[in-house]
Structures are given as C-alpha cells and as structure tokens.
Amino acid sequence: MKSIVFVRVLIMALAILSACEDDDREIVYPKTGHFGENLLQADSVDVISSGNLGGKKTSYCIKAELPEKTAVRLIITHKSDNYGLLYYDTNTRLGWSIDQVTYDTHSGTTHFYGDGLMVCDVRVYFVSSGSAEIAIYENGDTIPARIKTFSWEN
C-alpha cells in the first residue's frame, strides 16, 4: 500500500516538474530588435511605408527568441494594387530560414522558419502601399498561436 502511494506521489511530482519545464520553453517576441520595432510583438504596430526602395527607409524587424526544443514558423502573405510589398533585407538575416513560396506584382507568400536555441531577426521595409498578414505557428502546431495584420499607405 505504501509503495502505491509513493508511486502516485512520484508521478504527480514528475507531472508538475514537466509542466514547469514547458513554461521555460516559451518563445519570446520582444518589442524591438536590431533593426527597429518588432512586427511579432504582442502589441499592435503602426507601420509606415518607406515609399519606394530608393527612398528614405523606415525599418522594422521580425524577431523571435527561441529556447531549446522550440520551433516557430511564420507564413507571411501580402497584397497590393500598386506594387506594395514587405521587403526583407536578407543581408541582415540572423537565424531565420526563408522560403519565398509565391510572388508577383500584387501578392506574395513567404515562409520563415526558426528551430532550436537561437535568436532570429531580419530587417523589414514596407514599400509603396498594401496589406499583409503574419500567421505565427509555434512548436509544430497546425493552428496559429496569433495572426498579425498590417496595412500601409505610400
């Protein structure tokens, strides 16, 4: 009888420790990154168009801080009637794997991936006028943890 009680207490203790360990593996989306305000932060972000690529640039970032045994996938779609887009400065890419899935003059979809212990960041500009949506998927989930939407005017 004593061994059954001991086993139950041990199982409960392991379950509690496991739950606490999961809390330590939360992906962090800070307010700012190396290149400006973070588009992934929990608060809304008012974005400003940088006009065209040759003009003055207001930059933002896409930053995530990943603990061990975590992963994040972003699906970013943009739409525009007049060549508006999110421009990712791939020369500033830190940690992210980036796949451009579709792209034309009026729309596009890009996937960003981060996996394991790392900090991911990249500089982003908004060009011309348009709208975009960022779906944030964490740890292999098939339903987004959050969806962020943006629109900008030239």
What pLDDT, in 10s, does the model give residues 71-103?
A: 999 999 988 877 777 888 889 999 999 988 888
The pLDDT of residue 53: 58
The pLDDT of residue 83: 72
The pLDDT of residue 55: 57
Residue 12 has pLDDT above 90, yes or no: no
Question: Which among 49, 40, 14, 57 is positioned nearest to 126, based on CA atoms?
Answer: 49
CB 93 within 8 A of CB 110: no
Please tell me which residue, 68 or 101, carries the higher pLDDT value.
68
Domain ranges within the chain, ordered by starting residue: 26-152
The CATH number of domain 26-152 is 2.60.40: yes
Interval 102-106 mean pLDDT: 79
pTM value > 0.85: no
Model confidence at 10, pLDDT cuts 50, 70, 90, reads very low
